[in-house]
Amino acid sequence: MRDTETLLFANEFFYRSFAGRDMKGLEEIWSHAAGVSCTHPGWNPVIGRTAVMASFRAILEGPNPPEVQCLSPVPVLLGESAYVLCFEALGGHYLVATNIFVRDGRLWRLHHHHAGPAGRAPEISETSTGLVN
């Protein structure tokens, strides 16, 4: 259960850093391992840590940085890697996201983020955070 809690904390840290326009936090949560990548909605894939950080900087320093909220995260542990499936709320619209993490000592670091349009709005309830091990 501890790994699941740590993974969900890392996922929440990513979204809080994004929402707070905290580039230092984003720099901290992203892995330094090779192959880091990101696919923002409507963008081509961004590959490499330097390019990924530059993409987030461009979004957050742009004229209208989005207000993003993570909803209904579902963690999946796979040994030294893991992912979190979730919805992202953006101004009345929803995206579905996959955040892939790799273990870095006792911490989870983000290795890949992909978000795209959701087919429907998430069902929000007190039990909307399902745990999958």
21-39, pLDDT tens digit by residue?
A: 999 999 999 999 889 999 9
Q: What is the pTM of this model?
A: 0.90
CATH architecture for the domain at 2-117:
Roll (3.10)
Full DSSP string of the chain = -HHHHHHHHHHHHHHHHHHTT-HHHHHHHB--STT-EEE-TTS--EESHHHHHHHHHHHHTSSS----EEEEEEEEEETTEEEEEEEEEETTEEEEEEEEEEEETTEEEEEEEEEEE-SS-----TT----B-
Per-residue pLDDT of 47-104, as tens digits, reads 999 999 999 999 999 888 888 999 999 999 999 999 999 999 998 899 999 999 999 9
